[in-house]
Amino acid sequence: MKLIAILRKSFTEQIRQFWILILTITMAPAFVGIYYLIYESTKLNLQVNVVNQDKHLLTDSSTIDYGSTLVSFLSTVRNDTMPVRFNYAVDRATAEDQIRTKKTNGMIIIPAGFSDSIRLRQSGVDVQVPFEISGNLTETYYLLSAVLSITYVSGYINEVTGTRESYRYTETAAGQSSKLDDYTLAIPGLLILATIMLMFSCTIAFVAEPEKKTMLRLKLSKLKTGTFLTGVTIIQVLVGLLSILLTLGVASLLGFSFSGSIWLFLLICILTCLSIIGFSLILAGMTKTVTEVLVVGNFPLLLFMFFSGAMFPVHGATLFTLGGYDFTVPGLMSSYHGIDALKQVLIFNAGFAEIWPQVVCLSGLSIIYFLVGYYDYRRRHMRIF
């Protein structure tokens, strides 16, 4: 009988702990949905630029231009198993820029002596036909595009020379990607993770006053919502920066080598902190107690941690493009842009001119989060008349 009483009591309490119950049973299904939306909306579609630097040869009777022929051949390639498109790029700089902005996954450079080497090979001289592939060695999709590039280009060379193993390729890393190991590559994401972790401390700081009812004293003192939120925000930004610097310090002690502009680094970190604080404000507007924060806050925290690129790279459907930078579905989470901008600065030594779209996205999202959060928080916790 006691067991039945305990069962009845537990069941009643569980039903009445509405938020905990809803979040417990819906979090995993919701993540399945989010995962589907992010990944299924972006089918794999590798893009490779082809830069033709080949100097065609003029003979008595004809022009030998294997570079252009290769470009034409590659443009007709269709692969249903591993979708890839080879596109012509006018020069190397353009192709490199498109790799940096993630428009393409890699590039093939057909060198100046390409036709000449093929001709020599055809005439029996033991030379290997050169070509070059390049990309961000840290990107998974680059590895796939590189394999496909080598497969198609080497196939073409073998066919036109009528020999096997007739080619030689070199691989050039974009930016500093060749110098980076997995550990170093993880650091930008982990630095932003330090700001994501602000979500709890920050939301709790906003909710503690209403929960402890000290908000009553602040409301009676005519304190303006903006003044209160600004004060809390400044302290939380400092906490976030301290956390980032501590993370950076530990990373440096363990072998991470900082490169890039320190000012851009700080700008990105501060903007990301602000956006997380803005998001925390939305959370604080939805909750009344620290316990509620810990329950409800888990959902966005996991979302920001795992789907904004802090732990591993994520891709998503493009919603719009800003200055050549794709604003994707995961980009709705501000930390996505922070991570991308930090990677650009720390890996590609990018300057402000290269990362301004990310900075604009970060700032825009911060403003949106803050406006929504301010309205919600004021309505819920600081409304006086």
Partner 1 sequence: MRLFLSMSEPIRIQTRNLTKRFGEQVAVDHINLEVNLGEILGFLGPNGAGKTTAIRMICGLLKPDEGEVLFNGQPLLELSQGKALLGVCPQDNVHWDRLTCLEQMTFIGEMYDLSRRVSLVRSKFLLDQMGLLSQSHKQARRLSGGMQRRLNIALALVHDPPVLILDEPEAGLDPQSRVLMREFIRNLSGSRTIILTTHNMDEADRLSHRVAIIDEGRILMTGTPDNLKHSTGTGNQVELDFGHPLPAQVIDSLKTEFRSIRQLTTHNSQLFIHLPDPMKALPDLLAFINHAGFHPAEIKMRENTLEDVFIQLTGKKLQP
Residues that bind partner 1 (CB under 8 A): 212-214, 216-223, 384-385
| Beta carbon of residue 217, minimum distance to partner 1 (angstroms, whole number) | 6
* 212 phi-psi bin (left φ>0, alpha ψ -120 to 50, beta other): alpha
Extract the tokens encoding 94.
């353009």
| Beta carbon of residue 288, minimum distance to partner 1 (angstroms, whole number) | 15
Please report where in the chains the tokens 């001709």 appear, as a residue: 119
- In angstroms, the first-to-last Cα distance of the chain is 54
Q: Which phi and psi angles does 88 have, rounded to 5°?
A: -80, 135
Which 8-state DSSP code applies to residue 177?
Answer: G
State which residue, 209 or 292, has the beta carbon closest to partner 1.
209
Cα(18)–Cα(147) distance, integer angstroms: 52
State which residue, 8 or 224, has the beta carbon closest to partner 1.
224
| Beta carbon of residue 290, minimum distance to partner 1 (angstroms, whole number) | 12
State which residue, 166 or 203, has the beta carbon closest to partner 1.
203
Considering only CA atoms, give the Rg of the chain: 27
State which residue, 290 or 302, has the beta carbon closest to partner 1.
290
| Beta carbon of residue 93, minimum distance to partner 1 (angstroms, whole number) | 57
State which residue, 337 or 378, has the beta carbon closest to partner 1.
378
| Beta carbon of residue 213, minimum distance to partner 1 (angstroms, whole number) | 5
State which residue, 123 or 221, has the beta carbon closest to partner 1.
221
Cβ–Cβ < 8 Å for 112, 99: no
State which residue, 120 or 215, has the beta carbon closest to partner 1.
215
Sequence-ordered alpha helix ranges (H) in the chain? 2-16, 18-40, 66-75, 92-100, 114-122, 140-161, 182-196, 198-212, 214-220, 225-253, 262-286, 290-296, 298-307, 334-348, 352-381
| Beta carbon of residue 231, minimum distance to partner 1 (angstroms, whole number) | 11
Extract the tokens encoding 159.
């066919």
State which residue, 170 or 227, has the beta carbon closest to partner 1.
227
Long-range contacts at 181-184 (CB < 8 A, ≥ 24 apart) = 183/254, 183/255, 183/256, 184/255, 184/256, 184/257
The residue among 367, 382, 305 whose CA lies nearest residue 336 is 305
Please report where in the chains the tokens 């994401």 appear, as a residue: 189
| Beta carbon of residue 200, minimum distance to partner 1 (angstroms, whole number) | 18
Query: β-pairing, 106-110 with 46-52?
Result: parallel
Cα(212)–Cα(230) distance, integer angstroms: 20
Cβ–Cβ < 8 Å for 335, 276: yes
| Beta carbon of residue 219, minimum distance to partner 1 (angstroms, whole number) | 6
State which residue, 293 or 347, has the beta carbon closest to partner 1.
293
| Beta carbon of residue 382, minimum distance to partner 1 (angstroms, whole number) | 11
